[in-house]
Structure formats: structure tokens, C-alpha cells
Amino acid sequence: MNALNPTSGLHHSAQQRWLYDEYGVELPLFHLGLPELRYFRISAHLHNSLADYAYLAEAVRSLIVSLRRSHRADGNEQGQGLRRQRFSGGLRVA
């Protein structure tokens, strides 16, 4: 069963749907704190290759660019509230 199936009863954000629609990637996104920050976590498995992780990185990078563009289109010239920060274990998009 597809994890993003709207009939599954699970809530998925617009960003998760975008990743799936554009890249075929299913990536759980967590929204925590005030102001709300978005986090994701990946699990490494033996059946995944380095190319799979590079593809995921490109999908997430593209999502960040898309979010920044939409924020600028909404009148936020700096894409305020969206920043990329590397930390141990992944990438944080706030």
C-alpha cells in the first residue's frame, strides 16, 4: 500500500505530497516547536545505494528552492523563515 494514499487516513503535508509527485520520494516530515520547524529523518538500509541518497538530497534541495520561491512570490524577498543548516544526522529546513 502506498504510504501517501489519501484514503489511508494518515496526514501528509503539502511538502510530502510535492516530494512524492515530483520525485517519487516518500519522506516523513515532522513539524515541531514554535516557531514551527520542519525536520526529516532517513533510515539507511543495505538495499539503498549512494545514488539513492544523492537522489534524495536532490529532491530535498529542489523542495527547499521551491519553498523559497513561493515565499518570495508571497512578498517575502529574503525567503525569511527558510534556511538550510547542516547538523549531525541531516538537514534542517526551518
Tell me the pLDDT tens digit for each residue of 64-87.
999 888 877 766 554 444 444 443
**Among residues of the chain, what percentage have pLDDT more than 70?**
66
Neighbours of 16 (CB within 10 A): 20
Inter-CA distances, 81 with 42, 50, 52, Å: 23, 30, 29
In sequence order, the β-bridge partners of residue 70 are none
The pLDDT-based confidence of 52 (bands split at 50, 70, 90) is very high
* CB-based burial, 24-39: b 16+ in 10 Å, e otherwise: ebebebeeeeeeeebb
pLDDT over 90, % of the chain: 30
Burial (CB < 10 A; 0-12, 13-18, 19+), residue 47, is exposed
